[in-house]
Structure 1
């Protein structure tokens, strides 16, 4: 295992990125957090501002990088990640996955660093294999409404693999599955913050389609631990980082109702185009190569998330 002196985290003021910055600093790694605020917010890393190990750079990763100093690892997380955001910012999403990935890789080459791409389970599309193993090539609509995100990540993986095969730099690819937890935005548009916001406001819980489509939700602390374990290993990947405990979307809505004590009714709305019907990672590779597996179960993770959302709603 390798410990790093200084990391660049693109998208570091985002939901997952801010938790990663915290964990790296907690482990003694200095962090340069790069973000342009398109979906992240400086408030997510406000608590780190006074740390001598933390630096914030306001920059769009699709543009050439400024001088960020010496780094020995680059975590590339910068990208809109929810349907609401990447459909609002379609071109920017594609550029973050293409230009942004290349800019990060070129910095990695110049500094002799390690590069970790935060890819996604979306590369599997609406999968025909279940559970999804890293060897599965996916079932993706290249021109559908989700394609700007799906194909940006698929291209980013291909670019990383090309740099790695050419011996230009040390790369790793993580495929992240449905992460949730504190700091998700209420207007994020993804399942858990949407259901939570609706439940706490007493609004109907809007479940797309039948609700029998499945997801595998992973608490953010577990996701961050998986990213760090992959970065510190010699593995190239791709490696699935997610929780293999599969549940229906309807059951997630019902758990949130129970945990919040809300009386909101569940209503069904039309299914989204290209919405995956089954989503569950095979994490055999993460277990064997990284010694990693999620530790926080859904009920505990959702309790922590409900508590954070409730506290911050009251403070607003």
Structure 2
């Protein structure tokens, strides 16, 4: 029997690389695609020897062509951390708009099922708590975070348009904060930022008064939710995340306890449009997908901390030196 073929964009990124692992384990032929703006080939180096995996270095905002049949597409090509999308705002908008358009056209041509990776950021700084899929959000389209938030909101709109107008078989995953091995240590997100500071013996930086909340989902649970959504028959957006909520201040204290360090917490001004609450209502995921996270934060954070602790020392002190200029023109 011929293997199913799946295209995974953003394949060298955090979630993309774990998805490559999962779908290879499911017996599929995996085509990974990434322009490596924020992705890293080391995340998929262990797959390069597999005869059922191929990697294509390509920017999906340009025309995307895949030879042969294609059964599935997972669209995970987008900067996902503020440090990235604030540096490359134009590229972030383009990958959400032009990139999604190109992949939906490919799905239509190949008669492939496509799942797009949306985000909890479509809810903005929510006025409804917890956030259900029916909530339309509270987003500033002209704020600094709007380049990411609105790119994802457009992604959802064009995906549903292709589903309704062209009959493309689509799925939309609204992904909440996810963590685990292969996150970039210096990408600016909460967990790697806190762990990196703790490992370097620095005080932990909390923005605002630390009362803002987040809900963290371990990567293995997230991948399982995405897999179940892809294999479902449900076309509307579905929240995939962990509903266990914690304040950033309390989480910083957990990190200090986990790492066995004696750092203090220092406070800095809250960034513009930073959400004050973030917690998914996963009723739909439970009912439609029969999915909910299984990994406790204690268990997941130990695995994640061990991963970061065992990175080379040079990685711990490395700054982000990516040259984004060539990607922001146009």
TM category (shorter chain) comes to over 0.9
Q: Determine the C-alpha separation between the residues in 2 that align with 1:230 and 1:163.
A: 18
Match of 1:52 in 2: 51
C-alpha distance in structure 2 between counterparts of 1:157 and 1:12, whole Å: 20
1:1-316 paired onto structure 2 within 5 Å: 5-313=4-312
Rounded to whole Å, the distance in 2 between the matches of 1:104 and 1:265 is: 46
Query: CA distance change for structure 1 residues 18 and 68 in 2, over 3 Å: closer, same or farther?
Result: farther
Distance 1:204 1:237 in 2: 43
Q: Distance in 1 between matches of 2:265 and 2:102?
A: 45
Listed one character per residue, the Cα deviations across residues 199-229 of structure 1 (whole Å, up to 9, x for unaligned) are 0000110000010100000011111111110
Distance 1:188 1:32 in 2: 26
SS in structure 1 opposite 2:312? Answer: helix
Distance 2:33 2:240 in 1: 23
Structure-1-length-normalised TM-score:
0.97
CA contact 2:256–2:263 (8 Å) conserved in 1: yes
Does the residue aligned with 2:171 lie in a helix, a strand or coil?
Answer: strand
Shift of 1:314: 5.2
8 A contact 2:203–2:263 mirrored in 1: yes
Return the alpha-carbon distance in structure 2 between the equivalents of residues 89 and 124 of structure 1: 22
- Matches of 1:167 and 1:284, distance apart in 2: 29
Give the C-alpha shift of residue 68 in structure 1: 4.4
Could you list the runs of 5+ residues in structure 2 that have no partner in the other structure?
316-330
TM-fit CA distance, 1:168 = 3.0
User: Residue deviations 1:91-116, cap 9 Å, x none?
Assistant: 00000000100111011001111010
The residue matched to 1:312 in structure 2 has which SS?
A: coil
Instruction: Pick which of 290-299 and 119-128 moved more.
Output: 290-299
Q: Kindly indicate whether the alpha-carbon contact (under 8 Å) linking 2:108 and 2:166 is maintained by their aligned counterparts in 1.
A: no
- Are the equivalent residues in 1 in contact too, given 2:34–2:59 (CA < 8 A)? yes
In 2, Cα distance between equivalents of 1:69 and 1:309: 39
1:232-259 per-residue CA deviation (whole Å, 9 max, x = no partner) reads 0111120000000010011111111111
Superposition deviation, residue 295 in structure 1: 0.7
In the alignment, is the contact (CA less than 8 A) between 1:32 and 1:68 conserved in 2?
no
1:234-290 alpha-carbon deviations (Å, 9 max, x no partner): 111200000000100111111111111112211001111101011000000000100
Is the contact between residue 65 and residue 106 of structure 2 (CA under 8 Å) also seen in structure 1? no
What is the TM-score of this pair, normalised by structure 2? 0.93
8 Å contact kept, 1:223–1:241 = yes
Q: Secondary structure at 2:114's aligned position in 1?
A: strand
1:106 is paired with a residue of what secondary structure? helix
Deviating above 6 A after TM superposition, structure 1's stretches of 4 or more consecutive aligned residues are: none
> Are the aligned partners of 1:219 and 1:301 in contact in 2 as well (CA < 8 Å)?
yes
Q: Distance in 1 between matches of 2:267 and 2:290?
A: 40
* CA deviation after TM superposition for structure 1 residue 70, in Å: 2.0
